[in-house]
Amino acid sequence: MSIDSRGIHGIWLSRWTFIMAATGSAVGLGNLWKFPYVVGNNGGGAFVLIYFLCMLLVGVPVMMAEVVLGREGRNSPINSMSYVVKNSECCQAWQLIGWIGVLAGLLILSFYAVIAGWGLHYILEVFSGSTVGVDGESAALLFGDLTSDPAKLIVWQTIFLGMCLTVVSGGVKKGLGAAVEILMPLLFIMLIVMLIYAILEGNFIAACRFLFEFDIASLSWRAILEAMGLAFFTLSIGMGAIMAYGAYMPAGVSIGRTVLIISVFDSLVAIVAGLIIFSIVFSTSGIEPTAGPGLMFISLPVAFGSMPAGQVIGIIFFVLVVIAAWSSAISLLEPATAWLVEATGFTRFMASFLLIGFVWFLGLGSVFSFNLGRDFTLAGFTIFDGLDFMTSNILLPIGGLAISLFVGFVMNKDALLKQMVDLEGYLLTLKTPSSCKTLSLRVGWDWVLRYVAPTAIAAIFIMGIYDNMSY
C-alpha cells in the first residue's frame, strides 16, 4: 500500500494550500486579540523578545516534528500517532500525544468560539453606528452589555460554531482547502489596509516604542511561561492541529522550508497586528495599553469612534478578526472530526455536527464566566481563564515536549528520514565536505529538537508553574 492511499481524508491540492491552511490555523485570535493584550500586560519589548526566542528555539522545531508525524501517519492525530508508535516499536504511552491533542483542541475551541462571537457582535455594533464618538466609559458599558448577557453570547457563539461546521463538513479539498484559499488572501489584504491606516492616522512611533523598547527587569518566570504559552498558541502547535494538516500534505515537499514560511507569516501578523492596535490605541489619549482581554473591544472602538473613516475601518477590522478566528477554529475541530470519521465511519457532516454540539455545550462554561458564573472561581480562575491557562500554558507545552522527545529520540529513523527530505539530504552531504554550510543547518534541527526545545520547555514550565503558585 502506498503511503498516500493510507489516508481516507484526501490531500491538499498543492504545497501552497497547505501553507495557506497552516497559516490560517496559526494566524488567529492569538495574534490579533491575545498577543497585543498579553504584551500590554507584561510591559512590552522584553516580553516580545522572549516570545520570538520561544518561536525560534522551540516553536519552529516542534512544528516541523508535528508535520513529520502527521505526514507519516496520514490520519487523524490519534490514529497517526498509533501508526507511528507501532512502527517505532516503543512504549504505547506515546499514543497519548494524539489523545491529549484532540482533547486540547476541543477545549480551546470551546472558549475560542465565545471570543470570536464577540468579534461577530462588534461588526454589527460598529456598523450600527453605536460606537461613533464613544468615550472609554461608554465603550466599557457597551462591552459590558454584551458580556453580561448570556443569551447574546450564546447566539454569537452558536453562529460562529455553525460557520466552522460548514467548512469542516465539506472535507479537506472542498471545505478546508477552498475556505483558506479565499480567506487567507482576503485577510492579508485587510491587514495591509489596516497597517497603512495605522501609519497614516495612528501613533505609529509610540506603538514601535512600546513593542520594541525593552526593560529586561519587567520579566518574571510567570511572564516567560506566558510568552512560551503564547508562542505555542499562536503557532497552533502541541495539540495536533498542525499534525492533522500535515497528514494532508503532499509527499516530497520540504517540511523545513514550508514550516519556516508559516512561522514567518505568523510572527509577522502578530507584530503587524500589535503595531496596528497600539498605533490606534495610542492615538487617543487616556486609553491604557494594559486593558486586558477588553483591549480590542473597549479601547479600539473608542479610538475608531473618533478617527477619520473610523466606522469603515472598524468594520474592516472586526471582519478581519472573525476571518482570522474562523480559519483557526476549523483547525481546532479537524483533528477530532477526522478521528470520529475514522473510528465510526460517520459522514463528515455527522461527525463535525456531533463535535460542534459537544463544544457548544462546553462553551457554556466560558459564556457564564462573564456573567452568571463570574464569581465561580477555582484557584482564582474563572472557567474561561482556567481553560485558557490550562490549554496554552500547560497542555500545549506538555504536548510540544512529548512531540519533540518522541521525534527526537524514539521515532523509527527510517520513517523520520523518509519524511525529512532535509535530513536525507544531510546524510548525502555528509560525504561531500564542500557543502559544509547546508550540513550545519540540517544537523541543527534534530539537535534542537532533542536537547534545546525539551530543556527550554521543561525549565520554563517548572519555573513558571512554581512562580504562578507563589502568587
Q: What residues line the site for ligand PHE (CB under 6 A)?
A: 25-26, 28-31, 108, 233-234, 236, 239, 241, 328, 331-332
Q: Which amino acid is at 265?
A: F
Q: Identify which of 79, 392, 84, 69 has the alpha carbon closest to the alpha carbon of residue 255.
A: 69
CA 317, distance to chain mean position in Å, is 19
Give the residue with the Cβ less far from ligand PHE, 388 or 446: 388
Whether the CB-CB separation of 395 and 239 falls below 8 Å is answered with yes
Q: Minimum CB separation from ligand PHE for residue 262, in Å?
A: 11
**If you search the block for the grid coordinates 485577510, which residue do you land on?**
187
Give the residue with the Cβ less far from ligand PHE, 269 or 287: 269
Distance CA(241)–CA(161), nearest Å, equals: 17
Per-position b or e across 382-402, b if 16+ CB within 10 A of its CB: bbbbbbbbebbbbbbbbbbbb
Distance CA(250)–CA(370), nearest Å, equals: 44
Q: Minimum CB separation from ligand PHE for residue 242, in Å?
A: 8
Give the residue with the Cβ less far from ligand PHE, 240 or 310: 240
Give the residue with the Cβ less far from ligand PHE, 147 or 328: 328
Q: Minimum CB separation from ligand PHE for residue 335, in Å?
A: 9
Whether the CB-CB separation of 212 and 48 falls below 8 Å is answered with yes
Q: Minimum CB separation from ligand PHE for residue 91, in Å?
A: 26
Q: Which amino acid is at 134?
A: V
Give the residue with the Cβ less far from ligand PHE, 160 or 426: 160
HEC letters along 278-309: HHHHHHCCCCCCCCHHHHHHHHHHHHHHHCCC
Give the residue with the Cβ less far from ligand PHE, 310 or 400: 400
Give the residue with the Cβ less far from ligand PHE, 316 or 325: 325
**Cell, residue 185:** 488572501
Q: Identify which of 104, 16, 96 has the alpha carbon closest to the alpha carbon of residue 331.
A: 104
Q: Which residues contact 444 (CB under 8 A, 6 or more apart)?
A: none
Distance of CA 25 to CAs 1, 233, 317, 456, Å? 31, 10, 19, 24
Q: Minimum CB separation from ligand PHE for residue 239, in Å?
A: 5
Q: Which amino acid is at 175?
A: G
Give the residue with the Cβ less far from ligand PHE, 333 or 340: 333
Q: Minimum CB separation from ligand PHE for residue 112, in Å?
A: 7
Q: Minimum CB separation from ligand PHE for residue 28, in Å?
A: 2
**If you search the block for the grid coordinates 564542500, which residue do you land on?**
434
Q: Minimum CB separation from ligand PHE for residue 441, in Å?
A: 26
**If you search the block for the grid coordinates 500500500, which residue do you land on?**
1
